[in-house]
Amino acid sequence: MIPFKCGALSMALTAAMSANAYADNNSTDTSKDGFVEGSGFNLDLKNYYFNHDRHDGKQDSKEWGQGFIGVFESGFTHGPVGFGIDANAMLGLKLDGGGGSGGTSILPTTAPNPNKDNLYGDAPDSFSSAGGALKMRAFDTVLKVGDLFLNNPVIAGGATRLLPMTFRGFSLTNTSVDHLKLDAGQVSFDKLFNQSGDGRIGTYYGTLPDNRQSKHMDWAGATYTAIPGLTSSLYASQLKDIWNQAYYDLDYTWVLNSLVSINPGFHYYHTQDSGQALLGNIDNNTYSLHLGVTVGNQTLTTSMQKVNGNTPFDYIQDGDSIFLDNSQQYSDFNAPGEKSWKLQYGYDFVGWGAPGLTSAVSYTRGTMDLTKATTASDSGYSSYYNADGSDAKHWERDVDLKYVVQSGKAKNLGVRLRWATDRGGDGYQTVDHNIDEYRVIVDYPINVF
């Protein structure tokens, strides 16, 4: 619904195509023992060009940056209870983005320059951050306290910009039962992908009352993978004084033969206001269904998504915790009462003798009645009301092309081209405007040791 995002089930494509999966805070290999023996250091060099082409008469946003992300993970000390540390350091450099052309979201934003006709000020030449976490392992349970990379359906750090998000708090995971992963934790602060400092955890679409904040977010969940081809997750979370949110998914890949497979799937969120209800009354049920058919190197996927409620489906600010099929590069298709459908075609060019080259093209269309959106004065979503939006509609077209070097000195170097076009009807104009987005991402992960 709002610009400058990358949706999370475009996360399905992003995760599959990403060359650097640092958004998993539970990746410790427990088969390695010893603080030094189990240690590793990874450096990710990411070059990012982002062009946000507006069609509403306002100045376009164009930025180009270079990111450096270093992540160190120690092993655990010997003994029945092991201890270790994780640490990260990030640096973002502005290569271009002056003259009032900022605001794409890959670089920090500053106050508008009164001498220039622009929405955003000039981004600083650089921004950086560093953090760490202490960790403890006892049997099959790992506790981490500090700065965390998180990636689950109710709290996922955005990894689709120049630098990734981190959260400050604690996480707890357990893998005692084969094929069952238990996950829980609490965080109070996050570092957004275009900022150097931490801030209180908040929401993507809601507007909180002045000087009001949520103190923390709690979550607990489980992922089950015992049946070949099937994955199922169940999560519950609470963003204090804002909402309680539950999530369930079921995804199955049925392999018919060496060439053909079928992939049905289902995602469901229920969100209900809680505590002081700082964003007002929330009673939202949102779900999506998809069916994919793979024949050889081609995959055709169709999906349907529905938001039941007078508020939009909302999630953690600037994160990727929206595991819905129609969440796209630009829009989430998550307006109050919105229903949408998507058709996507993917091709793996290994069939043409070009391993590492993959592509996807999709078209998504949504309709909604924005006159039924909540207008309560105490709601943080009242801006979604549109008296002229009884038949609001919009569509988005996405093209994604990526190549990852398969061998040699440049192995794992990825070059990704992304293009999104979003157009809205008259009833949709107060919520979103018409745009084209172009992104060029060069990502080079290096396993130092």
In a domain, 4, yes or no: no
Are the C-beta atoms of residues 193 and 163 closer than 8 Å to each other? yes
Q: Residue 248 domain-assigned?
A: yes
Helix (H, G, I), strand (E, B) or coil at 264: strand
SS (H, E, C) 51-113: EEEECCCCCCEEEEEEEEEEEEECCCCCCCEEEEEEEEEEEEEEEECCCCCCCCCCCCCCCCC
Does residue 1 lie within any of the structural domains?
A: no
Q: Is 124 helix (H, G, I), strand (E, B) or coil?
A: coil
pTM: 0.91
Of 193, 191, 156, residue with least CA distance to 171: 156
The answer to whether position 165 is within a domain reads yes
Q: How many domains does the chain have?
A: 1
Rounded mean pLDDT, 22-36? 59
Give the C-alpha separation, 307 to 370, whole Å: 12
Task: State the average pLDDT over residues 53-65.
Answer: 83
Q: What is the Cα–Cα distance from 318 to 160, expressed in whole angstroms?
A: 10
Q: Is residue 129 part of a domain?
A: yes
**Structure-token pair, residue 292:** 């994919």
How much of the chain is helix, strand and coil, in % rounded to 5? 5, 50, 45
pLDDT in tens, 330-389: 999 999 999 999 999 999 999 899 999 999 999 999 999 999 999 988 899 998 899 899
CB 341 within 8 A of CB 305: yes
pLDDT for residue 2 is more than 70: no
* Mean pLDDT over the full length of the chain: 89
Q: Is residue 3 part of a domain?
A: no
**What is the pLDDT averaged over residues 425-443?**
88
What tens digit of pLDDT does each residue of 244-301 get?
999 999 999 999 999 999 999 999 999 999 999 999 999 999 999 999 999 999 999 9
What pLDDT band is residue 321 in, cutting at 50, 70 and 90? very high
- The model's confidence at residue 28, banded by pLDDT at 50, 70 and 90, is very low
pLDDT at 113: 57
pLDDT computed for residue 118 by the predictor:
57
pLDDT of residue 59: 74
Query: Are 50 and 105 in contact, with CB atoms under 8 Å apart?
Result: yes
Model pLDDT, residue 20 = 40
Choose the weakest-confidence range: 15-24, 68-77, 151-160, 388-397: 15-24
- Give yes or no for a contact between 340 and 368, defined as CB atoms under 8 angstroms apart: no
CATH number assigned to the domain comprising residue 402: 2.40.160.10
Residue 318 corresponds to which amino acid? D
Residue 5 located in a structural domain: no
Q: Tokens standing for 192?
A: 């957004």
Domain that residue 422 falls in:
11-447
Whether 85 maps to a domain, the answer reads: yes
Distance CA 86, CA 88 (A): 7
CA-based nearest residue to 429, from 1, 14, 141: 1
Nearest CA-CA partner of 384 in 288, 314, 283: 314
Token pair belonging to 437: 């987005």
Task: Supply 407's token pair.
Answer: 């061998």
Give 73: exposed, middle or buried? Use CB within 10 Å, 0-12, 13-18, 19+: buried
